[in-house]
């Protein structure tokens, strides 16, 4: 069924109608979402309600962040009533750009009731700093929380600086490389640089050095330009995993980059990854300078090791969302400065 969905342009109208009927009768949230994603945006509202009725939280999340659902209020109401997972709620807040302010505040207030300080701090930071919004009642709650959790008094003059310091706390870099990598390149010459974002440097490093997480990147670049190499360039980081299994949401044929979707292998083997500390893809000047340094290092490595001339263009410097578009819709974010980085590399 998946390959039929992906090859829908080669199907007749009758074949498409039969596929739609089969999928809608299956009550399978994943198949309905994939049908929407690749084939039929016209019936978004009807199919979104069918996905909601399945109660499948994974594809409800995918639905909201992949499409601007007009009747999303019904879905958010369902989430607010039924979900008591602060991480899930934060991801809805973070991933769904078109939420109105009322629902953003309701989601944050629900997170407050769950007493999950990690995601509460991220949610408050995202609301006040990244979205640059303000709500008096939420501000009062934030004052109380900062006093009780951190013994910090905030006011309208200092809250942005304090939130920034809290969210971007410095950590001591672990020594050596992460344990999370594949040895070698499985016969490939790595030929793509994939850009990622993580809300905080500490979160990225802690995950990448946790063997249980099974995630990593070749480099992490902090907001102040600090660079940490996590995986040797000789090895494959666990950053851009694609699967040969069509039942996986990182199925390689889902990739929007043809340099990924046309290679029947795990994309980790033929990519480099750079993780940036950022909420929305915006980079500081120091991060851009560090990025240029890192990419030039990769280009030199490829020339020295493989005699390969890396093409400096948007086809070869890509985002995580071009590798895994279903599961990494907002990575590295709409503000990521590809053009600036590519222009400066060429200068």
Q: What is the pLDDT of residue 295?
A: 98
- Kindly report, residue by residue over 210-263, the tens digit of the pLDDT: 999 999 999 999 999 999 999 999 999 999 999 999 999 999 999 999 999 999
Residue 42 pLDDT greater than 90, yes or no = no
Residue 41 predicted with pLDDT over 90: no
- Give residue 305's pLDDT band: very low, low, confident or very high (50, 70, 90): very high
3-state secondary structure labels for all residues of the chain = CHHHHHCHHHCCHHHHHHHHHHHHHHCCHHHHHHHHHHCCCCCHHHHHHHHHHHCCHHHHHHHHHHCCCCCHHHHHHHHHHHCCCHHHHHHHHHHCCCCCHHHHHHHHHHHHHHCCHHHHHHHHHHHHHHCCCCCHHHHHHHHHHHHHHHCCCCCCCCHHHHHHHHHCCCCCCCCCCCCCEECCCCCCCCCEEEEEEECCHHHHHHHHCCCCCCCCCCEEECCCCCEEECCCCCCEECCCCCECCCCCCCEHHHCCCHHHHCCCCCHHHHEEEEEEECCCCCCCHHHHHHHHHHHHHHHHHHHHHHCCCCCCCCCCEEEHHHHCCCCCCCCCCCCCCHHHHHHHHHC
Q: How confident is the prediction for the chain on average, in pLDDT?
A: 96
Over the stretch 2-29, which tens digit does the pLDDT of each residue have?
989 999 888 888 989 999 999 999 999 9
């Amino acid at each position: 069924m998946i390959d039929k969905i992906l090859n829908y342009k080669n199907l007749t109208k009758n074949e498409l109608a039969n596929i739609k009927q089969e999928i809608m009768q299956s009550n399978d949230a994943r198949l309905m979402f994939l049908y929407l994603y690749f084939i039929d945006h016209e019936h978004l509202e009807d199919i979104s309600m069918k996905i909601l009725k399945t109660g499948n939280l994974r594809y409800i999340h995918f639905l909201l962040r992949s499409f601007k659902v007009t009747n999303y209020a019904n879905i958010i109401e369902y989430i607010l009533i039924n979900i008591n997972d602060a991480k899930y709620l934060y991801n809805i807040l973070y991933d769904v750009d078109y939420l109105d302010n009322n629902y953003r505040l309701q989601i944050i207030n629900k997170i407050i009731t769950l007493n999950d300080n990690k995601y509460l701090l991220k949610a408050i930071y995202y609301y006040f700093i990244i979205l640059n919004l303000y709500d008096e009642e939420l501000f009062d709650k934030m004052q109380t929380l900062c006093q009780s959790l951190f013994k910090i008094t905030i006011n309208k003059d200092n809250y942005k600086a304090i939130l920034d310091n809290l969210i971007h706390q410095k950590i001591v870099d672990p020594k050596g490389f992460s344990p999370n990598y594949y040895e070698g390149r499985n016969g490939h010459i790595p030929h793509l640089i994939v850009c990622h974002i993580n809300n905080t440097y500490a979160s990225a490093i802690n995950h990448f050095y946790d063997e249980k997480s099974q995630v990593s990147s070749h480099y992490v670049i902090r907001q102040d330009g600090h660079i940490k190499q996590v995986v040797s360039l000789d090895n494959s980081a666990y950053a851009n995993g694609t699967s040969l299994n069509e039942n996986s949401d990182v199925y390689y044929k889902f990739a929007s980059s043809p340099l990924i979707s046309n290679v029947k292998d795990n994309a980790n083997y033929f990519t480099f990854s750079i993780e940036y500390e950022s909420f929305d893809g915006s980079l500081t000047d120091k991060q851009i300078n560090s990025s240029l340094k890192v990419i030039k290092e990769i280009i030199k490595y490829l020339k020295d090791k493989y005699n390969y001339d890396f093409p400096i263009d948007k086809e070869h410097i890509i985002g995580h969302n071009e590798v895994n578009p279903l599961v990494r819709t907002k990575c590295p974010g709409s503000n990521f400065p590809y053009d600036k980085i590519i222009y400066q590399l060429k200068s």
